[in-house]
Structure 1
């Protein structure tokens, strides 16, 4: 008996739904914790215009930095727990943005917890761009994010493979990227400041010193913090988070990080050499392979366009909950943009965060090229180094496929190879994207 491909897809999706239902059925029921939600500040419209005034960044030499300093400033309430989701795509600078919260002593930070949902439900579809397949895990992802915001980390155990025994696991994805999971009381080892810095620079050192992660202790550490921050590249668009943003039990704010798609492509080619092998072949030979997967960059631009368009349309459900952040602005003016980011969130910026920025944005460009997941780099030089890594015809194709989002975000089009290589002329327009309250 023969089955059509549509039948096979339907059977696969049905199987995924059954797996998710089974996980939900047999998972321990979490105890609900209420988060206080304060009133929104007075309204203010989103502004997306070119700047005319010069503003300083983290030192006297930084001028003309985009800023939303004219926006109303939310008052800081130490008793109000804020949940932060960093919404991004792979190789857009999200690890760097995550560290801006990871370094804060009152923030419990989780790095890509949805990796486990994807691995459990869609193990063979990790690279898929089929819409039905990509949406299949969103229900599970939203439920898990809600639980994690409430510090119910036991919900994560349902997706970790093999499943933790006695709430203990050594399989949590990139545990070492979270300071909270490498520090007492979660980590029983005595890690002084120097050793703790080493653990975060070399994620494997955290696991070696601390041993298996006790999920219950991690949940206690989460509840002891004032705020929660979660980074994910596995939610395509901000509209996918609407149910959480409108949840009255959450004080959830979304930071959507975007980057020039041409920069994303160049970074992925360097980082994921096997997956992007044909792109590397195109760059080396000057001839585009006939079987090149163009969807690898098309999907990025489509998701950006839908999500950013939603945010800039200022729907009522995003009022005071959404901030659009360009990676290039953060890379050029890291301290200023971090201050503005914290101001939007209504959080007090700790000195430890500022110190980390100053120590991690003056690194060698050579270091960042050799260590693909490092956050220590010359951030300003890194922002547009894709211009010497892509061939002109690859840039032309990407511009054609992504023209709408390039225009919307203020990334300039290049029309000649000489223009592409002229690094004295930035391809990033001075724009400001104001949050609306």
Structure 2
């Protein structure tokens, strides 16, 4: 098959653009470069000019001079990740972003569904890692490559779930708020703050001591190895897992069209012949692969990885949150404590919003036991048996046991951080 010279030229230009993006990411200015193996040569206590000369004249190795802690919440949809994100969003010194990789997914793979193919899932990883690296460096302009329509003069009203980030709904990013607006609902933030100025957002990020990002769009912790080992970052991964039976029940209720066949099975007792079981098995495979990597404790994850079960957090949110902050080496402030107290004892009406975080956390973790038929539960237990055992989730032996909340289906396990 012959190609026209125009097609060849376009391919060459595309290749150059991709290489430029990669080079640009790895040469970000805000991370200082210093000689190895003695990074103290660039100590802030030294004369700045002398330090710069020394760094310019020696072999260089980039590292994170500011020592910000970069936090990644690695999760899947309907696993409690919005709740965990708020544990960082409420901290006064944490700049939190809610699902920025959404824009990568819907720019590169617009029709991607919950049952992603392996090829589609991997297409995103290179672009996602580059974007994460830039965001941890507080380079929010890099997002403009993926926001559609593209921002004008670094302003946009299309950032996904902007209102879920407290920093993006507070001064200096949002100057129109008064004293009564300190606790804005997500929708009110967008209405009162107007378009998002990415320059102000970048400045706000740099003023915070730490950066936290939540994503459900990276399949496994091994996909993050390049970032974990990047000396310019101080990346720590919180992997959040949940009982796959609970995830399936929550997705079936939240994404009613996508999971329509599961609901038909649940309602009629007849399994549809064209049921897409990968909507379940993909979750279990990703959990198995990722958790297996974390639990084998490879050297590159030392001090960088913590596994958290949603059920443990739901049953004892204050204690588990303290453990998370201890792992990160960040003091937990009173704003976080107050938010936990106010948002883990919600009544039934407070949990109606599908992405809401105000609810009775302990009851929410068990609700799936009354939502799914025992036939679907038994199918899930067979399909996901290895990961259920790995994470300490017990199989329900009968419908009676499933509905009996005095019988716990969560084993007592201590998944200690790898430190």
Match of 2:219 in 1: 236
Which structure 1 segments of 5+ residues have no match? 2-14, 38-78
Runs of 4+ in 1 over 6 A off after TM superposition: 15-21
**211 and 404 in structure 1: CA distance in 2 versus 1, 3 angstrom threshold:** same
Match of 1:4 in 2: none
Structure showing greater Rg: 2
Give the 5 Å matches for 1:10-89.
22=17, 25=20, 29=24, 31-34=28-31, 80-89=67-76
Match of 2:181 in 1: 195
Mapped partners of 1:122, 1:189: distance in 2: 36
Report the alpha carbon displacement of residue 17 of structure 1 after superposing the two structures with TM: 12
**TM-score, normalising length: structure 2:** 0.87
Report the alpha carbon displacement of residue 219 of structure 1 after superposing the two structures with TM: 0.4
Alignment length (residue pairs) = 380
Match of 2:55 in 1: none
Mapped partners of 1:17, 1:333: distance in 2: 55
Report the alpha carbon displacement of residue 26 of structure 1 after superposing the two structures with TM: 7.7
Pick from 395, 406, 411 the counterpart of residue 377 of structure 2: 395
Root mean square deviation of aligned Cα: 2.4
Pick from 187, 191, 194 the counterpart of residue 204 of structure 1: 187
**TM-score, normalising length: structure 1:** 0.83
Match of 2:366 in 1: 384
Mapped partners of 1:142, 1:19: distance in 2: 19
Which structure 2 segments of 5+ residues have no match? 2-9, 35-65
Match of 1:371 in 2: 353
Q: Could you say which structure has the higher helix fraction?
A: 2
Mapped partners of 2:29, 2:395: distance in 1: 50
Match of 1:410 in 2: 392
- 3-state SS of 2:182 partner: helix
- 3-state SS of 1:433 partner: coil
Query: Which deviations, in whole Å up to 9, do the C-alpha atoms of 1:170-225 show, x marking residues without a partner?
Result: 00000000000000000121232x4231x2x3x12111100100011100000000
Pick from 109, 113, 117 the counterpart of residue 130 of structure 1: 117
Mapped partners of 2:329, 2:397: distance in 1: 42
CA contact (8 A) 1:258 1:327 kept: yes
Pick from 303, 311, 318 the counterpart of residue 328 of structure 1: 311
Identify the structure with bigger relative contact order (alpha carbons < 8 Å, sequence gap 6+). Answer: 1
Query: Which deviations, in whole Å up to 9, do the C-alpha atoms of 1:369-419 show, x marking residues without a partner?
Result: x21111000001111110000000000110011000100100000111000
Match of 2:326 in 1: 343
CA contact (8 A) 1:94 1:231 kept: yes
**28 and 408 in structure 1: CA distance in 2 versus 1, 3 angstrom threshold:** closer
- 3-state SS of 1:427 partner: coil
CA contact (8 A) 1:387 1:420 kept: yes
